[in-house]
Amino acid sequence: MAANGGFSEARLKRLSDSMRGYVDRGEIGNVVTLLYRRGQRAHADQVGWLDGEARIPVAHNSIFRIASMTKPVVSVAALMLLEEGRLRLDDPVDRWLPELADRRVMCDSAGDIDDTYRSPRPITVLDLFTHRPGLVSQFTAGGQIGSAAAKLHIGNALLLTGTDPDEWLARLGALPLVYEPGTHFNYGFATDVLGFLVARIAGVGLEDFLRQRLFGPLGMVDTGFHVPQDKLARLSVAHMPDPTTGKPVMNDHPSASPWSKPKTVPSGSAGLVSTADDYAKFGLMLRDGRGPNGDRLLSRKTIELMTTDFLTAEQRGRLFLGFDMWSARGFGLGVSIVDNLAGQFNLGSVARYGWGGAFGTTWFNDPREDLTAVMMIQSLVGPLSPKIEADFVNLVYQAIDD
Protein backbone atom coordinates (compact mmCIF):
# COMPACT_ATOMS: atom_id res chain seq x y z
CA MET A 1 0.00 0.00 0.00
CA ALA A 2 1.39 3.40 -0.99
CA ALA A 3 2.23 5.89 1.75
CA ASN A 4 2.52 9.66 1.39
CA GLY A 5 3.99 10.67 -1.95
CA GLY A 6 3.32 7.30 -3.56
CA PHE A 7 5.92 5.42 -1.51
CA SER A 8 5.35 2.02 0.07
CA GLU A 9 5.69 2.13 3.86
CA ALA A 10 7.09 -1.41 3.89
CA ARG A 11 9.66 -0.55 1.23
CA LEU A 12 10.67 2.67 2.97
CA LYS A 13 11.45 0.48 5.97
CA ARG A 14 14.12 -1.18 3.84
CA LEU A 15 15.76 2.23 3.50
CA SER A 16 15.61 2.86 7.25
CA ASP A 17 16.88 -0.63 8.05
CA SER A 18 19.81 -0.30 5.64
CA MET A 19 20.89 3.04 7.08
CA ARG A 20 20.53 1.71 10.64
CA GLY A 21 22.72 -1.22 9.67
CA TYR A 22 25.61 1.07 8.77
CA VAL A 23 25.34 2.71 12.21
CA ASP A 24 24.88 -0.55 14.11
CA ARG A 25 27.97 -2.04 12.44
CA GLY A 26 29.98 0.99 13.54
CA GLU A 27 30.77 2.04 9.96
CA ILE A 28 29.32 5.54 10.37
CA GLY A 29 28.25 7.58 13.37
CA ASN A 30 24.91 8.82 12.09
CA VAL A 31 22.67 9.31 9.09
CA VAL A 32 19.70 11.57 8.40
CA THR A 33 17.47 10.90 5.37
CA LEU A 34 14.68 13.09 4.02
CA LEU A 35 12.41 12.59 1.00
CA TYR A 36 9.87 14.87 -0.62
CA ARG A 37 7.59 13.82 -3.47
CA ARG A 38 5.23 16.14 -5.32
CA GLY A 39 6.33 18.83 -2.90
CA GLN A 40 5.16 16.94 0.18
CA ARG A 41 7.34 15.39 2.88
CA ALA A 42 7.13 11.63 2.42
CA HIS A 43 9.87 10.23 4.65
CA ALA A 44 12.17 11.51 7.39
CA ASP A 45 14.48 9.41 9.50
CA GLN A 46 17.54 9.87 11.69
CA VAL A 47 19.75 7.13 13.14
CA GLY A 48 22.85 7.21 15.31
CA TRP A 49 24.74 9.73 17.37
CA LEU A 50 25.57 13.36 16.94
CA ASP A 51 28.45 12.61 19.30
CA GLY A 52 28.97 8.92 20.02
CA GLU A 53 31.31 9.38 22.97
CA ALA A 54 28.94 11.78 24.69
CA ARG A 55 25.93 9.64 23.67
CA ILE A 56 24.10 12.57 22.13
CA PRO A 57 21.61 11.29 19.53
CA VAL A 58 21.42 12.80 16.08
CA ALA A 59 18.24 14.78 15.34
CA HIS A 60 16.35 16.01 12.29
CA ASN A 61 17.81 19.49 12.85
CA SER A 62 21.40 18.38 13.39
CA ILE A 63 23.95 20.43 11.46
CA PHE A 64 26.35 18.86 8.97
CA ARG A 65 29.37 19.99 6.98
CA ILE A 66 28.08 19.66 3.42
CA ALA A 67 31.37 20.31 1.56
CA SER A 68 30.75 20.27 -2.21
CA MET A 69 26.98 20.48 -1.81
CA THR A 70 27.93 24.14 -1.39
CA LYS A 71 28.61 24.31 -5.14
CA PRO A 72 25.00 24.10 -6.39
CA VAL A 73 24.00 26.83 -3.92
CA VAL A 74 26.69 29.25 -5.10
CA SER A 75 25.93 28.36 -8.72
CA VAL A 76 22.29 29.36 -8.20
CA ALA A 77 23.46 32.66 -6.71
CA ALA A 78 25.45 33.35 -9.88
CA LEU A 79 22.47 32.37 -12.05
CA MET A 80 20.40 34.98 -10.23
CA LEU A 81 22.86 37.61 -11.46
CA LEU A 82 22.60 36.19 -14.98
CA GLU A 83 18.82 36.63 -14.82
CA GLU A 84 19.32 40.26 -13.81
CA GLY A 85 21.56 40.89 -16.82
CA ARG A 86 24.58 41.52 -14.62
CA LEU A 87 26.69 38.76 -16.16
CA ARG A 88 26.66 36.50 -19.22
CA LEU A 89 28.03 32.98 -19.52
CA ASP A 90 30.53 34.01 -22.19
CA ASP A 91 31.78 37.08 -20.30
CA PRO A 92 35.50 37.02 -19.50
CA VAL A 93 35.87 37.20 -15.74
CA ASP A 94 38.70 39.77 -16.12
CA ARG A 95 36.05 42.50 -16.07
CA TRP A 96 35.38 41.88 -12.38
CA LEU A 97 38.41 39.80 -11.36
CA PRO A 98 41.49 41.56 -12.76
CA GLU A 99 43.58 39.19 -10.64
CA LEU A 100 42.79 36.51 -13.24
CA ALA A 101 43.52 38.59 -16.34
CA ASP A 102 46.35 37.83 -18.81
CA ARG A 103 46.58 34.17 -17.91
CA ARG A 104 49.56 32.02 -18.70
CA VAL A 105 49.39 28.21 -19.01
CA MET A 106 51.99 25.71 -17.85
CA CYS A 107 53.62 23.80 -20.71
CA ASP A 108 53.54 20.71 -18.48
CA SER A 109 51.10 20.61 -15.55
CA ALA A 110 53.60 18.49 -13.59
CA GLY A 111 56.62 20.50 -14.64
CA ASP A 112 58.33 23.84 -14.09
CA ILE A 113 55.90 26.43 -12.76
CA ASP A 114 57.75 29.13 -14.75
CA ASP A 115 57.65 27.27 -18.08
CA THR A 116 54.46 28.77 -19.52
CA TYR A 117 52.80 30.22 -22.61
CA ARG A 118 50.11 32.84 -23.04
CA SER A 119 46.55 31.49 -22.70
CA PRO A 120 44.73 31.52 -26.03
CA ARG A 121 41.65 33.04 -24.39
CA PRO A 122 40.54 34.43 -21.03
CA ILE A 123 38.58 32.51 -18.39
CA THR A 124 34.83 32.93 -18.83
CA VAL A 125 31.92 32.76 -16.41
CA LEU A 126 30.86 29.48 -18.02
CA ASP A 127 34.32 28.02 -17.35
CA LEU A 128 33.82 28.67 -13.63
CA PHE A 129 30.36 27.05 -13.57
CA THR A 130 31.63 23.92 -15.32
CA HIS A 131 35.04 23.52 -13.60
CA ARG A 132 36.91 24.25 -16.82
CA PRO A 133 38.83 27.49 -16.12
CA GLY A 134 42.19 25.68 -16.22
CA LEU A 135 42.92 26.51 -12.58
CA VAL A 136 45.09 24.18 -10.53
CA SER A 137 43.18 21.56 -8.53
CA GLN A 138 44.12 21.19 -4.89
CA PHE A 139 42.99 17.55 -5.08
CA THR A 140 45.14 16.29 -7.95
CA ALA A 141 48.06 18.67 -8.47
CA GLY A 142 51.61 17.60 -7.68
CA GLY A 143 55.03 19.06 -8.17
CA GLN A 144 55.71 22.78 -7.94
CA ILE A 145 52.16 23.86 -8.75
CA GLY A 146 50.75 21.47 -6.15
CA SER A 147 53.01 22.90 -3.46
CA ALA A 148 51.94 26.42 -4.41
CA ALA A 149 48.23 25.50 -4.41
CA ALA A 150 48.54 23.97 -0.94
CA LYS A 151 49.06 27.46 0.47
CA LEU A 152 45.55 28.43 -0.61
CA HIS A 153 43.67 25.95 1.59
CA ILE A 154 43.81 24.14 4.90
CA GLY A 155 44.93 20.53 5.16
CA ASN A 156 41.74 18.76 4.07
CA ALA A 157 41.42 21.12 1.07
CA LEU A 158 37.81 22.04 1.94
CA LEU A 159 38.37 25.49 3.46
CA LEU A 160 40.42 28.46 2.27
CA THR A 161 43.19 30.37 4.00
CA GLY A 162 43.85 34.08 3.88
CA THR A 163 42.99 37.47 5.29
CA ASP A 164 40.15 38.29 2.86
CA PRO A 165 38.82 37.28 -0.60
CA ASP A 166 40.83 39.96 -2.42
CA GLU A 167 44.09 38.75 -0.91
CA TRP A 168 43.19 35.12 -1.70
CA LEU A 169 42.35 35.94 -5.31
CA ALA A 170 45.64 37.79 -5.70
CA ARG A 171 47.55 34.70 -4.55
CA LEU A 172 45.55 32.45 -6.87
CA GLY A 173 46.11 34.90 -9.72
CA ALA A 174 49.86 34.73 -9.20
CA LEU A 175 49.78 31.04 -10.22
CA PRO A 176 49.70 29.91 -13.85
CA LEU A 177 46.89 27.80 -15.25
CA VAL A 178 47.51 24.09 -15.64
CA TYR A 179 45.20 23.78 -18.68
CA GLU A 180 43.87 26.13 -21.31
CA PRO A 181 40.42 27.47 -20.32
CA GLY A 182 37.56 25.30 -21.52
CA THR A 183 39.62 22.20 -22.25
CA HIS A 184 39.61 20.15 -19.02
CA PHE A 185 37.14 19.47 -16.21
CA ASN A 186 39.55 20.10 -13.33
CA TYR A 187 37.73 19.94 -10.00
CA GLY A 188 39.05 22.44 -7.51
CA PHE A 189 38.82 26.18 -6.87
CA ALA A 190 36.42 27.12 -9.69
CA THR A 191 33.31 27.60 -7.55
CA ASP A 192 35.33 29.47 -4.93
CA VAL A 193 36.18 31.96 -7.66
CA LEU A 194 32.55 31.97 -8.85
CA GLY A 195 31.45 32.88 -5.33
CA PHE A 196 33.87 35.79 -5.17
CA LEU A 197 32.68 36.88 -8.61
CA VAL A 198 29.12 36.99 -7.25
CA ALA A 199 30.31 39.08 -4.32
CA ARG A 200 32.24 41.52 -6.55
CA ILE A 201 29.29 42.05 -8.88
CA ALA A 202 26.73 42.33 -6.08
CA GLY A 203 28.91 44.60 -3.96
CA VAL A 204 28.29 42.57 -0.78
CA GLY A 205 30.00 39.63 0.87
CA LEU A 206 29.14 36.18 -0.46
CA GLU A 207 27.42 35.07 2.75
CA ASP A 208 25.39 38.29 2.89
CA PHE A 209 24.25 37.74 -0.69
CA LEU A 210 23.25 34.14 0.01
CA ARG A 211 21.33 35.14 3.12
CA GLN A 212 19.50 37.96 1.35
CA ARG A 213 18.67 36.12 -1.85
CA LEU A 214 18.45 32.43 -0.92
CA PHE A 215 18.67 31.47 2.74
CA GLY A 216 16.25 34.13 3.96
CA PRO A 217 13.54 33.65 1.30
CA LEU A 218 13.77 29.85 1.59
CA GLY A 219 13.82 29.75 5.39
CA MET A 220 17.25 28.05 5.47
CA VAL A 221 17.87 29.21 9.02
CA ASP A 222 20.72 26.81 9.85
CA THR A 223 22.82 27.20 6.69
CA GLY A 224 25.99 29.30 6.59
CA PHE A 225 29.77 29.28 6.47
CA HIS A 226 30.10 28.69 10.21
CA VAL A 227 28.03 27.44 13.13
CA PRO A 228 27.23 30.18 15.68
CA GLN A 229 27.96 29.42 19.31
CA ASP A 230 24.28 29.09 20.19
CA LYS A 231 23.90 26.31 17.58
CA LEU A 232 27.22 24.54 18.06
CA ALA A 233 25.63 21.81 20.18
CA ARG A 234 23.77 20.70 17.04
CA LEU A 235 26.90 20.27 14.88
CA SER A 236 27.75 16.61 14.27
CA VAL A 237 31.11 15.11 15.06
CA ALA A 238 32.83 14.18 11.79
CA HIS A 239 34.78 10.98 11.17
CA MET A 240 37.02 9.54 8.52
CA PRO A 241 37.98 5.90 7.89
CA ASP A 242 41.28 4.69 9.35
CA PRO A 243 43.46 3.86 6.32
CA THR A 244 44.53 0.55 7.87
CA THR A 245 41.44 -0.78 9.62
CA GLY A 246 38.73 1.09 7.75
CA LYS A 247 37.03 1.89 11.05
CA PRO A 248 35.85 5.47 11.65
CA VAL A 249 38.12 7.77 13.63
CA MET A 250 37.28 11.31 14.65
CA ASN A 251 38.20 13.91 12.06
CA ASP A 252 36.55 17.06 13.41
CA HIS A 253 34.90 17.78 16.77
CA PRO A 254 32.58 20.78 17.25
CA SER A 255 34.62 22.00 20.21
CA ALA A 256 37.63 22.71 17.99
CA SER A 257 36.08 22.74 14.54
CA PRO A 258 37.15 25.33 11.96
CA TRP A 259 33.43 25.50 11.10
CA SER A 260 32.78 26.99 14.55
CA LYS A 261 34.51 30.23 13.56
CA PRO A 262 33.44 32.96 11.12
CA LYS A 263 35.30 32.84 7.81
CA THR A 264 37.49 35.62 6.45
CA VAL A 265 37.62 33.76 3.10
CA PRO A 266 34.38 31.78 2.68
CA SER A 267 34.67 28.78 0.38
CA GLY A 268 31.98 28.72 -2.30
CA SER A 269 33.20 25.26 -3.23
CA ALA A 270 32.96 23.45 0.09
CA GLY A 271 32.43 25.80 3.03
CA LEU A 272 28.76 25.58 3.99
CA VAL A 273 27.11 23.77 6.88
CA SER A 274 23.42 22.91 6.69
CA THR A 275 20.67 20.58 7.86
CA ALA A 276 18.66 18.04 5.90
CA ASP A 277 15.59 20.25 6.29
CA ASP A 278 17.39 23.34 5.02
CA TYR A 279 18.94 21.65 2.02
CA ALA A 280 15.62 20.07 1.08
CA LYS A 281 14.18 23.60 0.90
CA PHE A 282 16.88 24.47 -1.64
CA GLY A 283 16.15 21.31 -3.63
CA LEU A 284 12.41 21.96 -3.55
CA MET A 285 12.95 25.49 -4.88
CA LEU A 286 14.67 24.01 -7.94
CA ARG A 287 11.51 22.05 -8.83
CA ASP A 288 9.86 25.20 -10.15
CA GLY A 289 12.08 28.12 -9.13
CA ARG A 290 9.70 29.32 -6.41
CA GLY A 291 10.13 29.78 -2.69
CA PRO A 292 7.67 28.53 -0.05
CA ASN A 293 5.50 31.65 -0.36
CA GLY A 294 5.28 31.35 -4.14
CA ASP A 295 7.76 34.10 -4.98
CA ARG A 296 9.90 33.26 -7.98
CA LEU A 297 13.63 33.02 -7.23
CA LEU A 298 14.75 31.43 -10.49
CA SER A 299 13.05 31.05 -13.86
CA ARG A 300 12.05 27.72 -15.35
CA LYS A 301 14.29 28.32 -18.37
CA THR A 302 17.28 29.04 -16.13
CA ILE A 303 16.77 25.72 -14.32
CA GLU A 304 16.58 23.98 -17.71
CA LEU A 305 19.93 25.49 -18.65
CA MET A 306 21.44 24.67 -15.25
CA THR A 307 20.50 21.02 -15.73
CA THR A 308 21.90 20.69 -19.27
CA ASP A 309 25.17 18.84 -19.91
CA PHE A 310 27.96 21.19 -21.03
CA LEU A 311 30.83 18.68 -21.17
CA THR A 312 32.29 17.53 -24.47
CA ALA A 313 32.49 13.85 -25.39
CA GLU A 314 36.26 13.98 -24.86
CA GLN A 315 35.86 15.49 -21.39
CA ARG A 316 33.32 12.84 -20.43
CA GLY A 317 35.82 10.20 -21.45
CA ARG A 318 38.25 11.21 -18.71
CA LEU A 319 38.23 10.00 -15.13
CA PHE A 320 36.94 12.22 -12.33
CA LEU A 321 39.29 12.04 -9.31
CA GLY A 322 40.12 8.51 -10.39
CA PHE A 323 36.51 7.40 -10.96
CA ASP A 324 34.41 6.80 -14.08
CA MET A 325 31.92 9.54 -13.29
CA TRP A 326 30.77 10.48 -16.76
CA SER A 327 29.52 7.25 -18.34
CA ALA A 328 26.13 7.88 -16.75
CA ARG A 329 26.02 11.64 -16.46
CA GLY A 330 27.19 14.98 -17.69
CA PHE A 331 27.74 18.26 -15.87
CA GLY A 332 25.74 21.46 -16.11
CA LEU A 333 25.90 24.73 -14.22
CA GLY A 334 26.81 23.41 -10.77
CA VAL A 335 25.13 19.98 -10.90
CA SER A 336 25.60 16.63 -12.61
CA ILE A 337 22.74 15.26 -14.73
CA VAL A 338 22.04 11.58 -15.43
CA ASP A 339 21.49 10.94 -19.13
CA ASN A 340 22.48 7.28 -19.50
CA LEU A 341 20.99 4.79 -17.06
CA ALA A 342 23.10 2.00 -18.54
CA GLY A 343 26.25 3.84 -17.48
CA GLN A 344 25.47 3.57 -13.78
CA PHE A 345 24.81 0.82 -11.26
CA ASN A 346 21.88 2.48 -9.51
CA LEU A 347 18.17 2.70 -10.00
CA GLY A 348 17.09 6.13 -11.17
CA SER A 349 15.74 8.29 -13.95
CA VAL A 350 17.16 10.13 -16.90
CA ALA A 351 17.35 13.86 -16.01
CA ARG A 352 18.02 13.26 -12.30
CA TYR A 353 20.43 15.92 -11.11
CA GLY A 354 22.31 16.84 -7.95
CA TRP A 355 25.72 16.69 -6.30
CA GLY A 356 27.35 15.29 -3.17
CA GLY A 357 30.02 16.31 -0.69
CA ALA A 358 33.30 15.00 0.68
CA PHE A 359 31.75 14.14 4.06
CA GLY A 360 29.38 11.70 2.34
CA THR A 361 26.37 14.02 2.17
CA THR A 362 24.32 13.84 -1.01
CA TRP A 363 21.24 15.36 -2.64
CA PHE A 364 19.32 14.89 -5.85
CA ASN A 365 16.19 16.06 -7.61
CA ASP A 366 14.33 13.76 -10.01
CA PRO A 367 11.99 15.84 -12.21
CA ARG A 368 10.33 12.76 -13.73
CA GLU A 369 9.32 11.45 -10.31
CA ASP A 370 8.91 14.93 -8.76
CA LEU A 371 11.29 13.73 -6.05
CA THR A 372 13.75 15.54 -3.80
CA ALA A 373 16.08 13.40 -1.69
CA VAL A 374 18.70 14.37 0.90
CA MET A 375 21.10 12.19 2.90
CA MET A 376 23.42 13.58 5.57
CA ILE A 377 26.35 11.68 7.08
CA GLN A 378 29.76 12.85 8.35
CA SER A 379 32.34 10.43 7.01
CA LEU A 380 35.16 12.23 5.21
CA VAL A 381 36.25 10.77 1.86
CA GLY A 382 36.71 7.02 1.83
CA PRO A 383 35.48 3.84 0.11
CA LEU A 384 32.41 3.60 2.34
CA SER A 385 30.64 6.79 1.21
CA PRO A 386 29.92 5.65 -2.38
CA LYS A 387 28.45 2.39 -1.06
CA ILE A 388 26.12 4.21 1.33
CA GLU A 389 25.10 6.64 -1.39
CA ALA A 390 24.37 3.77 -3.80
CA ASP A 391 22.24 2.01 -1.18
CA PHE A 392 20.42 5.26 -0.42
CA VAL A 393 19.61 5.90 -4.09
CA ASN A 394 18.53 2.32 -4.82
CA LEU A 395 16.36 2.04 -1.71
CA VAL A 396 14.68 5.38 -2.38
CA TYR A 397 13.69 4.34 -5.88
CA GLN A 398 12.60 0.80 -5.01
CA ALA A 399 10.14 2.28 -2.49
CA ILE A 400 8.13 4.09 -5.18
CA ASP A 401 4.78 2.30 -5.32
CA ASP A 402 2.59 4.18 -7.79
Same domain for 341 and 214, yes or no, is yes
Q: Which of the listed residues 156, 174, 202 is the one where a domain comes to its end? A: 202
Same domain for 40 and 89, yes or no, is no
CB-based contact 86:305 (threshold 8 Å): no
How many domains does the chain contain in total?
Answer: 2
Q: Which of the listed residues 202, 222, 242 is the one where a domain comes to its end? A: 202
| Sequential pLDDT tens for the chain (402 residues) | 466 899 999 999 999 999 999 999 999 999 999 999 999 999 999 999 999 999 999 999 999 999 999 999 999 999 999 999 999 999 999 999 999 999 999 999 999 999 999 999 999 999 999 999 999 999 988 899 999 999 999 978 899 999 999 999 999 999 999 999 999 999 999 999 999 999 999 999 999 999 999 999 999 999 999 999 999 999 999 999 988 888 899 999 999 999 999 999 999 999 999 999 999 999 999 999 999 999 999 999 999 999 999 999 999 999 998 889 999 999 999 999 999 999 999 999 999 999 999 999 999 999 999 999 999 999 998 888 899 999 999 999 999 999
Q: Which of the listed residues 202, 219, 238 is the one where a domain comes to its end? A: 202
DSSP assignment of 346-392 equals S---TT-EEEE-TTS-EEEEETTTTEEEEEE--B-SSTHHHHHHHHH
Same domain for 287 and 236, yes or no, is yes
Q: What is the pLDDT of residue 155?
A: 76
Q: What is the pLDDT of residue 79?
A: 98
Q: What count of residues does the chain have?
A: 402
Same domain for 262 and 332, yes or no, is yes
Q: What is the pLDDT of residue 2?
A: 60
Same domain for 57 and 147, yes or no, is no
Query: Distance between CA atoms of 286 and 217, rounded to whole angstroms?
Result: 13
Q: What is the pLDDT of residue 384?
A: 86
Same domain for 331 and 275, yes or no, is yes
Q: What is the 3-state secondary structure (H, E, C) of 64-101?
A: EECHHHHHHHHHHHHHHHHHCCCCCCCCEHHHCCHHHC
Q: What is the pLDDT of residue 78?
A: 98
Within 8 A by CB and 6+ apart from 175, the residues are 113, 136, 145, 148, 149
Same domain for 222 and 351, yes or no, is yes
- Helix or strand run (H / E) with residue 239: strand 238-241
Cα–Cα distances in Å, from 383 out to 132, 244, 328, 392?
27, 12, 20, 15
Same domain for 50 and 93, yes or no, is no
Same domain for 217 and 182, yes or no, is no
CB-based contact 396:352 (threshold 8 Å): no
CATH of the domain at 354: 3.40.710.10
184 is in which domain, residue-wise? Answer: 76-202
